[in-house]
Amino acid sequence: MDLKLQQYINGKWVDAHSGKTRNIINPFNQEMIATVPEGDESDAKAAIAAAREAFDNGEWALTPATERGTIVTRIAELIERDKEELAYLESLDTGKTVEESRGDMEDIAGVFRYYGELADKDGGELIDSPVPNSSSKVVHEPVGVCGQITPWNYPLLQASWKLAPALATGNTLIMKPSEITPLTTIKVFELMEEAGVPAGVANLVLGAGNTIGAELSSSTDVDLISFTGGIATGKKIMQAASVN
C-alpha cells in the first residue's frame, strides 16, 4: 500500500512548496503505507494567510450559528459513513487494533455531533445593568485564526477536540498533525470539504514541528494556539507565542 496524499490550503489539495515528501511507516511491520508532503515555513505561511483572509474578509464568522452547526453535524455523519476506512487508516498509522480504532471513530463522530448541536445554543448571558430601564448582555465572538498542533497518539481524536469547537464557533484554523501519524486527519479534511466547509476556513499543513509549529506559534496573524504534546515542546510554543 502506497498512498500519495497532499496538504489542504485555501480549499486546494497541494504538495509542499519545496517538493519534499515524507514516508509514513506502519509501526507494526515497518512497511511504507503512504507518501505525504513535508511542508515547511512557506507552507505554514500560506495556510496562515488563507485562514487570516477567510476570517477577516470571509463569511464563516458571520454565518448563522445554526448553519455552522449543520455543517459540523454533517462532518459527524460522514465520519460515521466512512468509519471503517478511517479505522483501517488509524490502525495502519498507529499500530493499534482495528477494533480499538472503530471505537475511536464512534467517539470522534460524537465530538463533531456534540459541537454541531451546541453551535446555536449560546444566546449570551444577561447581567445587571447600572443604567435604568436597560439590560446588558455578554455574548461570545470567534477568537479568529487558530493554530492547532496534535500528537501522534490518538491522532484523529485529538484533532477532533480542536477542529469541531473551532468550526462550530466561527473560527478559521490551521491544523498541523503529528508528522508520523497524519493519515486520518487528511481523510477528515476530505470529509470537511465534502460537508461544505468554505475554502480557507480549515487548512492542513504537514511536516515537522520545529518548522511548521514554530511558524504557527510565532505568527502575529495567529490569534490562538491549541497544542497537545510534550512539556519541552509546550514550553517552546509558549515562549514563541509570548512575543505577540
3-state secondary structure of 181: coil
In a domain, 57, yes or no: yes
The whole domain housing 54 covers 3-121+144-241
pLDDT at 43: 97
**Among candidate residues 40, 32, 73, the one with its CA nearest the CA of residue 183:** 32
- Predicted local confidence at residue 3, as pLDDT: 86
Beta-carbon contacts of 228 under 8 Å, excluding residues fewer than 6 positions away, are 149, 150, 151, 158
Q: In this predicted structure, what is the pLDDT of residue 129?
A: 81
The residue type found at 236 is: K
- The cell for 203 is 487548512
Residue 116 inside a domain? The answer is yes
Inside any domain, residue 101: yes
CATH number of the domain that residue 27 is part of: 3.40.605.10
CA distance to 33, 54, 109, 200, per residue, from 203 (Å): 23, 11, 20, 6
Return the ∠ at Cα 80 (arms to 3 and 5), rounded to 5°. Answer: 15
Asked if residue 39 is part of any domain, the answer here is yes
SS3 30: coil
Q: pLDDT digit of tens for each residue in the chain (244 aa)?
A: 678 999 999 999 999 999 999 999 999 999 999 999 999 999 999 999 999 999 999 999 999 999 999 999 999 999 999 999 999 999 999 999 999 999 999 999 999 999 999 988 876 677 888 888 888 878 778 999 999 999 999 999 999 999 999 999 999 999 999 999 999 999 999 999 999 999 999 999 999 988 999 999 999 999 999 999 889 989 988 888 888 7
E strand map for the chain: 3-4, 7-9, 12-14, 21-25, 32-37, 125-127, 136-138, 145-149, 172-176, 202-204, 224-227
The confidence score (pLDDT) of residue 49 equals: 98
The pLDDT assigned to 123 comes to 67
Residue 8 placed within a domain = yes
pTM here is 0.92
Residue 78 forms part of a structural domain: yes
Is residue 30 within 8 Å of 192, Cβ to Cβ?
Answer: no
Q: Is residue 136 part of a domain?
A: no
The three grid cell numbers given for residue 194, joined into one nine-digit string: 465534502
- Beta-carbon contacts of 117 under 8 Å, excluding residues fewer than 6 positions away, are 69, 73
Where b means 16+ CB within 10 Å and e means fewer, 189-222 reads bebbbebebebbbbbbbbbebebbbbbbbbbebb
Whether 127 is in a domain gets the answer no
Q: How many domains does the chain have?
A: 1
What is the model's pLDDT at position 1? 65
